[in-house]
Amino acid sequence: MEFKYYSVKEILNFIEENHLSINKKFGQNFLINSGVCDTIVKSLEIKENDVVFEIGCGLGSLTNRLIESGCKRLVGFEIDRAYIKHIKTLFAGYDNFNLIEGDFLKTFEDAMKQYVGPDDNLIITGNLPYYITTPILEKIFTSDLNISKAAFMMQKEVAERIISPPGTKKYGSLTIFCNFHSDPKIVAKISPSSFHPRPNVDSSVVRFTIVKDKYPVKDKTLFFKVSRSLFINRRKQLRNNLMNSPFLKDLEQVDLVALLEKSGISPNDRGEILSIPQICELTDNIFEFVKSQK
């Protein structure tokens, strides 16, 4: 009998019959809105040479749509042993499906070596619990492999932080990090009624189009040190945040002020108004100054 992925009754019966539980530790809220799954798959524009990684298969509601997308291979990651057997049984008949048992962050690199060839295009998707959203984005954006797109369900609050423009309260280090590496866009807004059990917050689907070297900068590590320094205290002026930054200890205040002014930035401004190109210019000027002092 075919499993009804989007039926609350069927999900509850399955959980009861198999003596399973909904594990809040892993952020398990099962998607019961098939339209959301279709939106995610459509936004990814999956082609026949694409390898797709799904983080957290759960009961297979999104897995079911992805495996029918025409992708070259679908690799699912599931950490909860209670659902691993279920997923293996449901998709046993598909030669292009593989399941990785364990934590995505710990198994991601091995899975890439095993399933992603040098000419393959990699797409990543899933429903991300709040506590693991940032670590997963960091893992994906700092990978050397050919990841073209990603689409994740996440808390609405996090999604809004990612797409916020400079000068807004939600603009910050996460915004800069995601936009430095990609072109993010909210492609769907999801109400709590689309999940079971209902979460206490609204969700969004964010699609990331990965752009390699989107912003040329002389030292990427320094760039992110500078960008984090801007938000040490949002209410403080730039000169104070940069002076108090643990990442820029070797610079004197007079030098920092001069470098800000050289970059066309007022030392009295706050970090939240700086665009990424402005931060790049400031970073390059700091880099050249430090280099000249050696």
Q: In 3D, which of 109, 82, 111 has the Cα closest to residue 99?
A: 111
User: What's the mean per-residue pLDDT of the chain?
Assistant: 92
Lowest mean pLDDT among 74-78, 144-148, 227-231: 144-148
Q: Where does residue 247 rank: exposed (0-12), middle (13-18), buried (19+ CB within 10 A)?
A: middle
Total-model pTM = 0.92
Per-residue pLDDT, averaged over 161-179, amounts to 97
56 alpha carbon, distance to own chain's centre: 14
Write down the domain spans for the chain: 8-210, 220-292
Q: How confident is the model at residue 2 (pLDDT cuts 50, 70, 90)?
A: confident
* pLDDT(27) > 70: no
The answer to whether the 8-210 and 220-292 domains have the same CATH topology is: no
Point out the least confidently predicted range of 49-58, 140-149, 242-251, 285-294: 140-149
The answer to whether residue 1 scores a pLDDT higher than 70 is no
Give residue 80's pLDDT: 86
Q: How far apart are CA 13 and CA 10, in angstroms?
A: 5
Q: pLDDT tens for residues 94-114?
A: 999 999 999 999 999 899 999
pLDDT at 142: 87
By DSSP bridging, strand 73-78 and strand 30-31 are: unpaired
Express each pLDDT in 188-220 by its tens digit.
999 999 998 888 999 999 999 999 899 999 999
Domain 8-210, second-level architecture: 3-Layer(aba) Sandwich (3.40)
What CA–CA distance (Å, rounded) separates 249 from 168?
28
Nearest Cα residue to 279 out of 225, 235, 233: 225
CATH of domain 220-292: 1.10.8.100
pLDDT at position 28: 67
Q: Rounded CA gap, 6 and 29, in Å?
A: 12
Average pLDDT over residues 121-147: 90
At 23 the pLDDT is 59
State how far the Cα of 272 lies from the Cα of 294, in Å rounded to an integer: 31
Please report the pLDDT score of residue 22 as a whole number: 66
Which pLDDT does position 3 carry in this prediction? 84
Mark out the alpha helices in the chain (DSSP H runs).
8-17, 34-44, 61-66, 81-90, 104-115, 133-141, 156-163, 173-181, 220-229, 238-243, 253-262, 276-292
Would you give the DSSP letter of residue 2?
A: -
